[in-house]
Structure 1
Amino acid sequence: MANRGLKSCLCVSLLFLIIVTIVIVTLSFTMFKPKNPKITVQPVGLEDLASAISPNLTQNISLGMMITVGNPNYGSFEYQNSTGYVNFHDSVIGEVPIRADFVPARSMIMMNTSADFMIGKLLKDPNFWSDILQGTLNFTSETALPGKAGFLKIFKLQATSYSSCDISLNIKAKNVTSNCISKIKF
């Protein structure tokens, strides 16, 4: 009799374990599947750019940046201090320090930082003056944010968020458009 009860308990426990495993696997491939972050970059203070360049063309200048990071995942992401790089025709002409931060699950954070541009290096690029005459300067930026992705405050995985942005500065209109592509790797 006790043997029969033990077999029934074992069968029910095994069935329960199979159902829980199926539910966890299904959720991990659907709802909890990692989604890429949504990142936008918006320079601040473009009005002051011309006056900052005019006095001394060899001086480095800083341009304020507003970076918005949206986390569409059901897990949080905590990243370390990092540096983003701004390129002009495959030449690094600026650095953007990014301070460590925490992005909660399914939320958005905004951070202020500044891009330090090497004006002398930019002016030496043969493409600079032709782009100025066309009225648009095109830049790219690349950033890698190493950190930890957390889920349910229990599981933590090493992850890195990569972002690549195409940034177009319209000189006459003094506005900037950016298009960023982001991905996360575990």
Structure 2
Amino acid sequence: MARRGLKICCLTSVVFLVILTIIIVTLSLTVFKPKNPLVTVQPAGLNKIQFNGTGIRLNTLVTIHNPNYGSFEYKNATNYVNYHGLTVAELPLRQNRVPARAKVNMTTSTDLSFGKLLSHPNFSQDVALGYLNFTTSATLPGKVNVANILKFRATTYINCYILFYIQSQDMDSKCTTRLKI
């Protein structure tokens, strides 16, 4: 009789573990599957662009939306601003935390090297057309934290294409992100 009770207990435990495993795998492949963060870049402030003696200061608002169920904390990084492949500015990104399923806004000011812009062969043509075309790239190494239970390393790669209109001092941007775990 005791043997039969032991068999029922073992069978119940195995069935429970199989069901629990199926639930965990299903959740990890659907709800908890990592999604790429969404990044937008917009002009910020009344003086979106300021000309000074050595460069052009561009004020922007960067919004990072984290659609995941885990927060992402990244370390200090550098965002490189390029004009037709030439790096014209570097923007340090301070360590920050993007909470789960939340948005974080960062106001930044970038000083673009006026000398590098002027020396580029496409600059005068772009000014005549009324816009400047920039790309930015950043790599954010960090950690993902899901409910203070699962913690693992991840890296977010961000590339933005920014079209700055000189006359209106407005900009259009399109950013692509990729989260690698």
TM-score under structure 1 normalisation?
A: 0.92
Q: Residue 98 of structure 1 corresponds to which residue in structure 2?
A: 93
The runs of at least 4 consecutive aligned structure 1 residues that moved more than 3 Å come to 45-48
Deviation per residue, 1:31-78 (Å, 9 max, x gap) = 11110000011232474635x24xx3xx13433221110000111101
The residue identity in structure 2 corresponding to 1:130 is Q
Q: Which of 114, 117, 125 is the equivalent residue of 1:130?
A: 125
Check if 1:185 corresponds to 2:180. Answer: yes
1:154 Cα deviation (Å)?
A: 1.2
Q: Which runs of 5+ in 2 are unaligned?
A: none
Matched, 1:32 2:27: no
Q: Which moved more, 1:70-79 or 1:59-68?
A: 59-68
| Residue of structure 2 equivalent to 1:81 | 76
**1:163 maps to 2:158:** yes
Please, which runs of 5 or more residues in structure 1 have no aligned partner?
A: none
- Cα gap change, 1:49/1:139 in structure 2, threshold over 3 Å: closer, same or farther? same
d(CA) in 2 for partners of 1:99, 1:112: 12
- Give the percent of matched residue pairs that are identical in Structure 1 and Structure 2: 49
Q: Which residue in 2 is equivalent to 1:42?
A: 42
**What is the alpha-carbon root mean square deviation over aligned residues?**
1.4
**CA offset at residue 6 of structure 1?**
1.1
Q: What count of residue pairs does the alignment treat as equivalent? A: 181
SS at match of 2:49: helix
* Deviation string, structure 1 residues 130-162 (Cα, Å, up to 9, x no partner): 000000100000011110011111111100111
1:142 is matched with 137
- Which protein has the bigger helix share? 1
* Partner SS, residue 173 of structure 1: coil
**Within 2, Cα distance between the matches of 1:84 and 1:180?**
13
Cα distance in 2 for residues equivalent to 1:116 and 1:7:
73
- Quickly say closer, same or farther: Cα 1:62–1:49, change in 2 above 3 A: closer
Give the TM-score taking structure 2 as reference length.
Answer: 0.95
